[in-house]
Amino acid sequence: MESLALAVAILVSPAFYGGPIALLLSFFRPKAMSSFRRWFIIVLAIASTCVGIFLIVENISRGSTLIGALGLSTGLGSLWQLKRYRKQTP
Protein backbone atom coordinates (compact mmCIF):
# COMPACT_ATOMS: atom_id res chain seq x y z
CA MET A 1 0.00 0.00 0.00
CA GLU A 2 2.89 2.38 0.64
CA SER A 3 4.13 1.99 -2.91
CA LEU A 4 0.67 2.86 -4.25
CA ALA A 5 0.58 6.02 -2.15
CA LEU A 6 4.07 6.92 -3.38
CA ALA A 7 3.04 6.37 -7.02
CA VAL A 8 -0.01 8.60 -6.58
CA ALA A 9 2.07 11.31 -4.89
CA ILE A 10 4.61 11.23 -7.73
CA LEU A 11 1.81 11.40 -10.32
CA VAL A 12 -0.13 14.25 -8.71
CA SER A 13 2.76 16.43 -7.48
CA PRO A 14 3.61 18.12 -10.83
CA ALA A 15 0.05 19.34 -11.20
CA PHE A 16 -0.39 20.25 -7.56
CA TYR A 17 2.99 21.93 -6.95
CA GLY A 18 4.66 22.49 -10.32
CA GLY A 19 1.96 24.66 -11.87
CA PRO A 20 1.60 27.12 -8.99
CA ILE A 21 5.38 27.39 -8.57
CA ALA A 22 5.78 28.10 -12.28
CA LEU A 23 3.04 30.71 -12.12
CA LEU A 24 4.63 32.44 -9.14
CA LEU A 25 8.03 32.44 -10.84
CA SER A 26 6.54 33.92 -14.00
CA PHE A 27 4.81 36.78 -12.16
CA PHE A 28 8.03 38.17 -10.66
CA ARG A 29 9.76 39.87 -13.58
CA PRO A 30 13.22 41.31 -13.07
CA LYS A 31 14.67 43.56 -15.74
CA ALA A 32 16.36 40.61 -17.43
CA MET A 33 15.05 37.08 -16.86
CA SER A 34 17.78 34.45 -16.98
CA SER A 35 17.53 31.67 -19.51
CA PHE A 36 17.77 29.06 -16.72
CA ARG A 37 14.73 30.51 -14.99
CA ARG A 38 12.81 30.67 -18.26
CA TRP A 39 13.56 27.01 -19.01
CA PHE A 40 12.71 26.00 -15.43
CA ILE A 41 9.32 27.71 -15.74
CA ILE A 42 8.69 26.07 -19.12
CA VAL A 43 9.55 22.58 -17.82
CA LEU A 44 7.33 22.97 -14.74
CA ALA A 45 4.48 24.42 -16.82
CA ILE A 46 4.59 21.68 -19.44
CA ALA A 47 4.76 18.96 -16.78
CA SER A 48 1.82 20.39 -14.85
CA THR A 49 -0.20 20.90 -18.04
CA CYS A 50 0.38 17.32 -19.22
CA VAL A 51 -0.42 15.80 -15.83
CA GLY A 52 -3.43 18.09 -15.49
CA ILE A 53 -4.81 16.98 -18.83
CA PHE A 54 -4.22 13.35 -17.86
CA LEU A 55 -6.05 13.77 -14.56
CA ILE A 56 -8.99 15.52 -16.22
CA VAL A 57 -9.32 13.02 -19.07
CA GLU A 58 -9.04 9.91 -16.88
CA ASN A 59 -11.92 11.12 -14.68
CA ILE A 60 -10.76 9.16 -11.62
CA SER A 61 -12.58 11.25 -9.02
CA ARG A 62 -13.71 14.81 -8.40
CA GLY A 63 -10.60 15.53 -6.35
CA SER A 64 -8.25 14.44 -9.11
CA THR A 65 -10.28 16.42 -11.64
CA LEU A 66 -9.93 19.54 -9.49
CA ILE A 67 -6.19 18.98 -9.05
CA GLY A 68 -5.92 18.45 -12.81
CA ALA A 69 -7.80 21.67 -13.47
CA LEU A 70 -5.49 23.50 -11.05
CA GLY A 71 -2.39 22.13 -12.79
CA LEU A 72 -3.76 22.84 -16.25
CA SER A 73 -4.84 26.40 -15.51
CA THR A 74 -1.68 27.41 -13.65
CA GLY A 75 0.59 25.74 -16.22
CA LEU A 76 -1.11 27.49 -19.12
CA GLY A 77 -1.22 30.74 -17.13
CA SER A 78 2.53 30.67 -16.54
CA LEU A 79 3.20 29.96 -20.22
CA TRP A 80 0.91 32.87 -21.11
CA GLN A 81 2.83 35.14 -18.72
CA LEU A 82 6.14 34.12 -20.31
CA LYS A 83 4.76 34.83 -23.77
CA ARG A 84 3.44 38.21 -22.67
CA TYR A 85 6.74 39.06 -20.96
CA ARG A 86 8.65 38.07 -24.09
CA LYS A 87 6.62 40.54 -26.22
CA GLN A 88 7.14 43.43 -23.79
CA THR A 89 10.92 43.22 -23.56
CA PRO A 90 12.94 44.31 -26.60
**pLDDT tens digit sequence for 47-87:** 899 988 988 898 788 888 888 898 899 999 888 888 877 66
> Residue 31 carries which DSSP code?
S
Which stretches within 1-90 are classed as H helix? Answer: 2-13, 19-27, 35-58, 62-88
Amino acid 18: pLDDT: 87
The answer to whether residues 14 and 70 touch, using CB atoms and an 8 Å cutoff, is no
**How many Å from the N-terminal Cα to the C-terminal Cα in the chain?**
53
- Residue 24's domain comprises 2-88
* Residue 1 predicted with pLDDT over 80: no
Domain count, the chain: 1
| pLDDT: which is higher, 17 or 34 | 17
The answer to whether residues 42 and 79 touch, using CB atoms and an 8 Å cutoff, is yes
The band of 90, judged by pLDDT with boundaries at 50, 70 and 90, is low
Distances (CA, A) of 82 to 5, 61, 76: 34, 32, 10
> Is this prediction's pTM over 0.85?
no
Give the C-alpha separation, 13 to 71, whole Å: 9
